[in-house]
Chains A and B, each alone.
Chain A
Amino acid sequence: MLKLLYFARLRESLGTDSEAVELAPSVRDVAGLMDWLRTRGGSWSEELAPGRTVRVSVNLEMAEATTPVRDGDEVALFPPVTGG
């Protein structure tokens, strides 16, 4: 299982702050995970559209499209940060 977390605007527009998902065998990295989540359609394909800026962390570290995603990981999706 993969733990998925959503923050800020994404949490609101997707209507959930977390979920546990069974990873599709095709998902090996962050880019693959995003492609897979987009297939859910609706606000998922809108919010995660390639033109939208979505930041991703894997196991509490900022990730890139090529960062590997494995069973048991904690992956978070969120907009660019605005603290300080």
Chain B
Amino acid sequence: MPVRVQAEDFDAGAEILALRRGNPKIGALASFIGLVRDVNNGEPVTGMTLEHYPGMTEKALENIVSEAQSRWDVLDALVIHRVGLLLPTDQIVLVVVSSAHRGDAFAACEFIMDYLKTRAPFWKKEQTAQGTRWVEARETDDRSAERWEKMSPASAAHRPR
């Protein structure tokens, strides 16, 4: 299963090893880890709670990974996203993509994160000294996702190798 939603922390090294072990076709592996910061919009953040839509979340993430696999030469991909209470420095999300060459791995990894930020049903509620507040969606995230829509799968496949 390339997609996991869990409260538990993850070990990126162990996950990467499990994904690449024994596959000599892999020449490149790109990974991304998102972390909880202690500040947002200039205000100190003491923690956050991640809510999601069980059932739809997994389906949305699987669709995003499938879309990445249809656009680039991806050998394997993994997405782990945590839910529940998280504190500053905690890991939130892991994306790992393996490919024959780095261009496909880099692009697919970034694409998965950009689409996850705008299409997967997760919501963050931050804790601050003033109380809790729901994080507002950012327009910059929409624009990051939109740039892939303008790029046809054919042109996207011709990234540097």
Contacts and interface: CB of A to CB of B under 8 A. Distances in A.
Nearest to A13: B134
Interface residues of A, number: 17
B: contact size bracket? 20 to 34
Given A8-B134, A9-B134, A60-B59, A83 B122 contact: yes
A81 B92 contact: no
Contact of A81 (B34, B93, B113, B122): B122
Contacts of B52: 83
Contacts of A53: 137
B34 A78 contact: no
Main DSSP-derived SS at the B contact region:
mixed
A79 interface: yes
A78 B52 CA distance: 10
Nearest to A83: B122
Interface string B117-144: 1111111110000000011110000000
B137 A81 contact: yes
A25 interface: no
Given A81-B137, A84-B34, A8 B123 contact: yes
Nearest to B125: A8
B137 A79 contact: yes
B22 interface: no
Given A60-B55, A60-B56, A76-B53, A81 B134 contact: no
Interface in A36-84: 53, 57, 60-62, 76, 78-84
B50 interface: yes
B93 A83 contact: yes
B116 interface: yes
B135 A57 contact: no
Contacts of A4: none
Interface string B45-63: 0000011110110011000
5 contacts: A53-B137, A78-B53, A78-B123, A81-B122, A84-B116
Given A83-B81, A84-B93, 9 more contacts: A53-B137, A60-B56, A76-B121, A78-B121, A80-B136, A82-B122, A83-B50, A83-B123, A84-B116
The 10 A-B residue pairs with the shortest CB-CB distance, nearest first, are A83-B122, A80-B137, A8-B123, A60-B56, A84-B117, A82-B135, A9-B134, A82-B124, A60-B59, A84-B116
